[in-house]
Structure 1
């Protein structure tokens, strides 16, 4: 049994008593369920006999648990079921009948084939909050298209933004769509649970990744196209201007961002060139950001990063040194906030736990349960819902072997 570590305040977690079935793979769905687990939900991850592919990515040892899985699967229990067998599918249905929430990223065709659509499940469990999150809307012709993060960055306009800035159709170098949509799943599920308190009924929640990322991208970048007829181009000027980047200092790099006309005046006075501001009136300031960034970049190398930190703090100018991710664990801010603590996994040994950034006064939740081995909770979880030793033996006999 996986050793647990309790880092909470001792108060009852916010989602204590809520059971979540994590029937998702890769990052988006598992990330959402990790957050729900951090907040106190009992998360049961149903995996195929092969296991979620994230278990095998960036492993320390050939048969170990992958780096992403260590955090994505914390505060969860792992149940292995082969949904393609009658016994495995029935066990999944039995588990789902006890759940408050189901999160899946299976495509609509697969859900229909397995009999796991909302319509299939709601009659047996009318209080179920059923969240399906896949690439595109289920009522669109793209409903069953394969969709990974890069495809959603392209579809939503994120790649267009990168092309406008760099001249190349780059992807943002993080799984942006997976994580934004994972967060969207969390608030959508919590809203549905709150609605259930009022109505007594669950509901189907759909989080199409393309739509989510489209709305996310256009918050500031719809620009003049928000009006009909258009009053200007798309795009948020500050983000798209040439030179919108961190600046070099005497000993490194930092975000030094005079955000207002007053900030800029303070900056150029500090470097001994107040005359630069003669070119920027309060009215023209935001229309000439590229020119402003170029001027700022000429003077930031004159001071050290530490000197810029003091100056920017005193003048309320946005500032942050550029952090090298190789050294994130050594940074006082992150260590003091317990955002990258080292804990010991019972099988993997010491590993870094990505902290929960949310602070709740009654307890934000911690690592109550380390990432389980594949299927290690199958028998205990099914026993909880009434499976006998004979039924468990029959289930195992019906399941194929699992790879390491």
Structure 2
């Protein structure tokens, strides 16, 4: 009974950017049909798993979907997809548009099969620029949008990538926004359209909102960059026995902090007097506060800062976050029984809705698990389904007894 109940989405995406977006749509109630090639989504092979093709990362971005295996390089496979598209609200892909055109699955072909379809592409670069045909991966887009440079500026001078697929996730979320907007237009007008969501442009905007700074102006006022975010000392504070995450930001918090540690006279220093002054001296201020945090243990700091109403959080590891008391209280993690993988840990949909709460519709599918059902619902006769299987245009699961 999610908000997207009744919406059908053909999901041709692989790896992370597209599957992350379509899992969000599936959680909201859309019927997401994962169309896989005979080789399968490569993410099925990533990370530890109990059975072949069901790696942990795959389970975490493909729940609630149905899987069908179609060889789109065969004419019969392409035609089968177009028949399914006639009843779909949207088709989403994340290969280069040139590859879709070579398969005979460009926007014109899909619009001819269904004039109302939403045709959404998630790929590297806008199609009117010189990078149009270039391949794109998360690392490349992080680099092109300036993230490793920012990390080098804030660290030891060594450029690095963020150790999560941040470009895939951010652009995946932006794709969800675009898809929901396209579905609203479709609902109001009955018309479809093509929507391109290019990773480079989307991430450039995402990064530069923080860091364009004085380069916003013509002529520029500075060389860009948000000084607080680029401070070499902006990091979890080291305590006498570990680390802690705290942010002393506004005037009230600075007054409370120095009062709590018994050094109210620190506020008399000009560098602490105003927000603008602190911004101008942020690197040395973070360094000074870092020395102060070394004087007490983590638990002592946590109690002191909470009493002073200063924002503080633990610095979790990948294992300790599983025991976080807040996440436990809100039921963030739950153990479910996967029909193939057995007991697995899943994360709940983080948002809460008073009427149409999104929920996972089911576990991540095995390879081609729902092929027969999807084709039957698409209007294919039993004979047509078996013929497609015999031709190899579709890989079918075993016939139910």
**Same fold, TM exceeding 0.5?**
yes
Name the CA distance, whole Å, in 2 between partners of 1:262 and 1:288: 18
Alignment of 1:294-373 (within 5 A): 294-373=287-366
Answer 1 or 2: higher relative contact order, Cα 8 Å, separation at least 6: 1
1:115 corresponds to 2:104: yes
Moved more, 324-333 or 299-308: 299-308
Q: How far is 1:27 from its partner?
A: 0.1
1:20 corresponds to 2:14: no
Alignment of 1:253-332 (within 5 A): 253-279=243-269, 280=271, 281-282=273-274, 283-332=276-325
Alignment gaps of 5+ in structure 1: 1-11
Aligned residue for 2:23? Answer: 34
Report the secondary structure of 1:303's partner residue. Answer: coil
Partner of residue 127 from structure 1, selected from 99, 116, 140: 116
Name the CA distance, whole Å, in 2 between partners of 1:190 and 1:96: 18
Report the secondary structure of 1:139's partner residue. Answer: coil
Report the secondary structure of 2:184's partner residue. Answer: helix
Aligned residue for 2:154? Answer: 165
Partner of residue 183 from structure 1, selected from 173, 176, 188: 173
CA contact under 8 A between 1:85 and 1:398: conserved in structure 2? Answer: no
Q: How far is 1:143 from its partner?
A: 1.7
Q: How far is 1:129 from its partner?
A: 1.1
Report the secondary structure of 1:78's partner residue. Answer: strand
Aligned residue for 2:378? Answer: 385
Q: How far is 1:62 from its partner?
A: 5.1
Partner of residue 96 from structure 1, selected from 82, 85, 91: 85
Q: How far is 1:330 from its partner?
A: 1.3
Partner of residue 37 from structure 2, selected from 48, 52, 66: 48
Alignment gaps of 5+ in structure 2: 396-401
Name the CA distance, whole Å, in 1 between partners of 2:393 and 2:188: 44
Computed over aligned residues only, the root mean square deviation of the Cα atoms, in angstroms, reads 1.6
1:204 corresponds to 2:194: yes
Deviation per residue, 1:179-200 (Å, 9 max, x gap): 0000001000001111222222
Runs ≥4 residues deviating over 6 A: none
Report the secondary structure of 1:61's partner residue. Answer: coil
Deviation per residue, 1:78-114 (Å, 9 max, x gap): 0000001111111111111111111100111111101
Aligned residue for 1:8? Answer: none
CA contact under 8 A between 2:11 and 2:22: conserved in structure 1? Answer: yes
Name the CA distance, whole Å, in 1 between partners of 2:378 and 2:255: 68
The number of equivalent residue pairs is 391
What TM-score results when the alignment is normalised by the length of structure 2?
0.94
